[in-house]
Amino acid sequence: MTHPACELCVQDGGEVIFRNDFLRIVLVADADYPGFCRVICNAHIAEMTDLPIPQRSQLMMTVCKVEQVLREVMQPDKINLASLGNMTPHLHWHVIPRYKEDKHFPQSVWGVAQREAHLNPPADWQATLTSRIQLEMTSLC
């Protein structure tokens, strides 16, 4: 089930690093937030409670697994989890590594910038993050 006017139905929403029949995990191209991932339902569903309980559990286990891998690979000060859907009513979760030196900390990444970012992500973080998520999702599914 897709909706032709929904951007997450017609586009991936980032660089796909894992996909199965139910969901996909994408890496968002945001230089200010290296490691920013989204976990997106493939079907056009607006709310968590629109999913049967087993799929809700699978989605949340995936979000938690992405958080775990981000913490291990990126070593952030904090992880932000968000599922808003006000602008795009298609069920998806943002999993965002946060650093005290990032552009908005301690505010939301969608808030007013507090400073210029001075981040130094781990070397080869993107390849490491991608391979770790793929490995963890293979064992989870």
| CA-wise closest residue to 5 among 90, 92, 94, 83 | 90
Q: Beta strands 23-27 and 78-82: pairing type?
A: unpaired
pLDDT in tens, 7-33: 999 999 999 999 999 999 999 999 999
> Is residue 119 classed as helix, strand or coil in its secondary structure?
coil
7-140 sits in which CATH class? Answer: alpha beta
Give the integer Cα–Cα distance in Å for 119 and 32. 8
Domain boundaries, the chain: 7-140
Q: Is 105 helix (H, G, I), strand (E, B) or coil?
A: coil
- DSSP 3-state of 58: helix
Structure confidence by residue, pLDDT tens digits, 48-107:
999 999 999 999 999 999 999 999 999 999 999 999 988 889 999 999 999 999 999 999
Global pTM value = 0.94
